[in-house]
Amino acid sequence: MNKVGIVGYGITPFTKEDAKIESALLDSTKEIFKNNPEIVQKEIDAVLVSTNNNSKYLSSVVSEMAGIQPKIAHNIESLCNSGTNSIVSAYSYIASGLADLVLISGAERYDSPGQILQWDNSRGEYKHPIFWASIFAKSYKREYSITEEDLAVVSVKNHKHAKENPNALSNKTYSIEDVLNSKKLTDDLRLLDCSRPCTGSASIILGSEEKVKKLTKEPVWISGIGQKTISAGFTKNISLNSMESTKVAGQTALKMAQKETKDIDVAEIHDAFTVCEPMALESIGFTKNGNGMNMIKELHDTNDFRINPRGGLIGTGHPLGATGIAQTVEITQQLQSNANKRQVDNSNVGLVHNMSAAATSSTVLVLEK
């Protein structure tokens, strides 16, 4: 299989602005070409757009607006992990030899139609993601004697990280009391436990080994890929205290990369809600079941940025189609030692965890210098 790496990336601030989806996609795409003048539009073989927006033919629209005439162009949607699904598709196009350079552009508007899964009748009237997150929180807290004060640390930590991320939606820091005093949304979740939908865009170009070596001085390679879909409906989850799809995706990605969790220096974890971060850390195997919050508290107390350095979804905002790409851009910046105040020292191997809809599907990527 051909080696695949990252050639360039573009990212713009996540906001609450009423931007057109086409403009959002183009903004981060233009950033790539601005920052990497050696990448020539006419050499791009494929343009994949990652979004839940209902507009059609967006990959051809972005191609035309960016001056690209690709071979392959289409839109990819899988709710919140559309971004990493697109990255894996790009990977397969390159690894198979059908393409050498692939642009992936992800964007969402704050009012994305992907926030509510209409189909999942197992949720009854409770179709908003906050309801599965509440059930996860109630179950996880009960199973491992975790309190809401404990979970609040995730929000405090990730907002602290986001403060150092100029593209994050939030630039405020909060105390545990602030989280506990924020608006109560359900029995088990408050406003500051939740990531917020927003308008945002992130783009990345993947390339074959030859292209990566030609076009960048700081190669970052995708060495591990794991994906798993358990179901669409929430109630098919085997457990409410762990994430089966994340577990399988994590094992697959680490095996492919011939790595263990102890080899991972920095990771992006899909903290759509506070409870997701300890659950995902446990399911990937960073720590044993029930110990996720202890791990997170230690990281927070020692000001260690290695889990969710950009501020997670909670601090950075969650523009669905852009999130998985923005996570991958962050790990790329970390491995290239370009993360400024968020930099995790000695980052050689990174991991991205991106999931959808109550962890019914997950993607895990391993990236290496």
Among 206, 204, 201, 203, CA closest to 167: 201
Asked if 303 is part of the footprint of a second copy (rule: CB under 8 A), the reply reads: no
Asked if 204 is part of the footprint of a second copy (rule: CB under 8 A), the reply reads: no
Q: What is the DSSP string of 267-280?
A: EE---SBTTHHHHH
> CB-wise, 80 or 168, nearer to a second copy?
80
Asked if 166 is part of the footprint of a second copy (rule: CB under 8 A), the reply reads: no
Residue 359's SS3 state is coil
Asked if 323 is part of the footprint of a second copy (rule: CB under 8 A), the reply reads: no
Cβ count within 10 A of residue 35: 11
Is-contact 295 74, C-beta < 8 A?
no
Paired tokens of 244: 């089966």
Sole window of 80-88, 163-171, 185-193, 202-210 interacting with a second copy (rule: CB under 8 A): 80-88
Asked if 223 is part of the footprint of a second copy (rule: CB under 8 A), the reply reads: no
Paired tokens of 341: 């105040």
Asked if 78 is part of the footprint of a second copy (rule: CB under 8 A), the reply reads: yes
21-50: which residues touch a second copy (CB under 8 A)?
Answer: 22, 47
Paired tokens of 170: 């939030």
Backbone dihedral angles phi then psi of residue 6, each to the nearest 5 degrees: -100, 130
> CB-wise, 207 or 311, nearer to a second copy?
207
Sole window of 63-71, 163-171, 174-182, 309-317 interacting with a second copy (rule: CB under 8 A): 63-71
On the 0-12 / 13-18 / 19+ scale of CB atoms within 10 A, 183 is: exposed
Asked if 234 is part of the footprint of a second copy (rule: CB under 8 A), the reply reads: no
In this chain, which of 9, 14, 33, 93 binds a second copy, going by CB under 8 A? 93
Asked if 325 is part of the footprint of a second copy (rule: CB under 8 A), the reply reads: no
Which residues are within 8 A (CB) of 266 and not within 5 positions of it... i.e. 6 or more apart?
305, 306, 307, 309, 331, 334, 335, 344, 347, 350, 351
Smallest distance from a second copy to CB 197, Å: 14
Asked if 109 is part of the footprint of a second copy (rule: CB under 8 A), the reply reads: no
Smallest distance from a second copy to CB 69, Å: 6
- Token look-up 């001056």 returns 67
Among 77, 64, 68, 80, CA closest to 323: 80
239-268: which residues touch a second copy (CB under 8 A)?
Answer: 252
CA diameter of the chain: 57
Sole window of 58-66, 139-147, 182-190, 295-303 interacting with a second copy (rule: CB under 8 A): 58-66
- How far CA 55 is from CA of 3, 51, 52, 176, in Å, comes to 33, 9, 9, 40
Smallest distance from a second copy to CB 177, Å: 37
Asked if 230 is part of the footprint of a second copy (rule: CB under 8 A), the reply reads: yes
In this chain, which of 73, 152, 326, 335 binds a second copy, going by CB under 8 A? 73
Asked if 208 is part of the footprint of a second copy (rule: CB under 8 A), the reply reads: no
Round to whole Å and give the CA distance between 240 and 333. Answer: 34
Contacts to a second copy by CB under 8 A: 1-2, 22, 47, 52, 54-61, 63-64, 69-79, 82, 85, 88-89, 91-93, 95-98, 113-114, 117-119, 225-233, 236, 252, 356-357, 360-361
